[in-house]
Amino acid sequence: MTIKIEGDVKGAAQAGRLLAEGRLVAFPTETVYGLGCDATDEVAVARLYDAKGRPSFNPLIIHVPDAASARALGRFDATAARLADAFWPGPLTLVVPAAVGSPVSLLARAGLDSLGLRVPGHALARTIVAASGKPIAAPSANRSGHVSPTLAAHVVEDLDGRIEAVIDGGPCPVGVESTIVACLGGVPRLLRPGGVSREAIETVIGAPLAGGEGAAIVAPGMTASHYAPRARLRLDATDPRPDEAHLAFGGAPKASGRVLDLSPRGDVVEAAANLFRYLRLLDGEGHAGIAVAPIPRDGLGEAIHDRLARAAAEKG
Ligand code: TXA
Ligand code: MG
């Protein structure tokens, strides 16, 4: 059962405690209700994707209580700094390069070297995030494919029994998601229109934003929405070759060479939590290829397959 918590000072403290323990807690922001979890906890993030029923791992927006916290997690160029000054707290997400040694989980970042950061304009949201003491990953608090919730009751309709708690803070004043702008060097790019208008942003930076629909490449090795390893990926592989590392699943590794098992007990949620970390680890070791074992397609398995297929396709 999902518990309903009042959006007052006491409720915010309780929400912060639950988040710090790795629980899933929905809370209001000025845009839509977000489903939050500790962004540094890979398993909590995997459970969050599972609760939403997402068929793919989109990178999640990381919520922090103030701009100083954001700047500890990401690298802000002059444009990003100016946009943060102008629009935070508020419905703007800035995608910036992750700081070296960023504690934000690779699964929350979908394996990317960048981070979507936002300081919500809703005071209750900031209080909850501050109370948790953690950066909070929060996609909209709906089941995948449903519209974003702007009332606590919408959250309950979609996610009752799948999350620990929902904080009722009344209706969301903006009602559409945050605007997303990528500041990754070069011209800043509009990735998603939202609560702050393109015009308002262009006025602040004194120049037009780059177009921005979809997954255009924004920097070498860094695509807008998915991770690409250097090594060649071979999927559904049961027979690792001598020059390949083996990304196994469910125990009983078949290879004599380098093996990492995504989930020895065969649990897709655990596999999701390890996916990007293990891919990066093996990729960093310089193997020519990575043979990925067959993984079930139920639950988070579908999202794992989606991400692996994209990562494999990147190599052409
Ligand atoms: O208003 C909002 O932004 C709401 C509230 C809860 O804060 N959150 C929200 O999250 O809309 P979500 O998960 O529905 O949207 C996240 C989107 C991703 O699909 C992706 O387009 C973009 O944010 N994003 C996040 N991190 C990114 C990154 N590192 N690079 C590119 N895009 C990123
Ligand atoms: Mg959404």
Give pLDDT tens digits for 267-314: 999 999 999 889 989 999 999 999 999 999 988 998 889 889 888 886
Q: For residues 41 and 296, what is the distance between their CA atoms, to the nearest angstrom?
A: 23
Measured by CA distance, the residue closest to atom 12 of ligand 1 is 139
Our answer on whether the CB atom of 191 is closer than 6 Å to any ligand 1 atom is yes
Q: For residues 256 and 108, what is the distance between their CA atoms, to the nearest angstrom?
A: 32
Q: For residues 72 and 146, what is the distance between their CA atoms, to the nearest angstrom?
A: 34
Measured by CA distance, the residue closest to atom 3 of ligand 1 is 178
Tell me what pLDDT residue 225 has.
Answer: 54
CA angle centred on 59, ends 53 and 63, rounded to 5°: 100
Q: For residues 208 and 191, what is the distance between their CA atoms, to the nearest angstrom?
A: 14
Our answer on whether the CB atom of 149 is closer than 6 Å to any ligand 1 atom is no
Amino acid identity, position 107 = L
Q: Minimum-distance ligand to the CA of 144?
A: 2
How far away, in angstroms, is 109 Cα from ligand 1 center?
Answer: 10
Nearest to 304 by CA among 270, 276, 272: 272
Tell me what pLDDT residue 161 has.
Answer: 97
H-only helix segments in the chain: 9-20, 42-52, 67-73, 78-87, 123-132, 152-159, 198-205, 268-284, 301-313
Burial class of residue 256 (count of CB atoms within 10 Å of its CB; 0-12, 13-18, 19+): exposed
Helix 268-284 and helix 42-52: axis angle, to 10°? Answer: 130
Tell me what pLDDT residue 30 has.
Answer: 94
Measured by CA distance, the residue closest to atom 13 of ligand 1 is 139
Q: Minimum-distance ligand to the CA of 104?
A: 1
How far away, in angstroms, is 76 Cα from ligand 2 center?
Answer: 25
Q: Which residues surround ligand 2, an ion (CB under 5 A)?
A: 140
Helices and strands (H, E) in the chain, number of each type: 9, 16
Our answer on whether the CB atom of 179 is closer than 6 Å to any ligand 1 atom is no
Q: What distances in angstroms separate CA 233 from CA 22, 159, 315, one per listed residue?
A: 32, 35, 8
Q: For residues 47 and 38, what is the distance between their CA atoms, to the nearest angstrom?
A: 11
CA angle centred on 177, ends 100 and 209, rounded to 5°: 65
Tell me what pLDDT residue 253 has.
Answer: 63
Q: For residues 182 and 190, what is the distance between their CA atoms, to the nearest angstrom?
A: 6
Q: For residues 241 and 226, what is the distance between their CA atoms, to the nearest angstrom?
A: 26
Cβ neighbors of 239 (< 8 A, separation 6 or more) are: 254, 291
Ligand 1 atom with least separation from CA of 35 = 6
Our answer on whether the CB atom of 59 is closer than 6 Å to any ligand 1 atom is yes
Q: Minimum-distance ligand to the CA of 125?
A: 1
Tell me what pLDDT residue 176 has.
Answer: 87
For each of the chain's 316 residues, which pLDDT tens digit applies?
899 999 999 999 999 999 999 999 999 999 999 999 999 999 999 999 999 997 788 999 999 999 999 999 999 999 999 999 999 999 999 999 999 999 999 999 999 999 999 999 999 999 999 999 999 999 999 998 888 899 999 999 999 999 999 999 999 988 889 999 999 998 999 999 888 989 999 999 999 999 754 434 443 333 445 678 889 999 999 889 999 999 999 996 666 799 999 999 999 999 999 998 899 899 999 999 999 999 999 889 988 898 898 888 865 4
Our answer on whether the CB atom of 140 is closer than 6 Å to any ligand 1 atom is yes
Q: For residues 118 and 75, what is the distance between their CA atoms, to the nearest angstrom?
A: 14
Count the Cβ atoms, other than its own, within 10 Å of residue 153: 12
Our answer on whether the CB atom of 94 is closer than 6 Å to any ligand 1 atom is no
Amino acid identity, position 247 = L
| Phi, psi of 262, rounded to the nearest 5 degrees | -60, -35
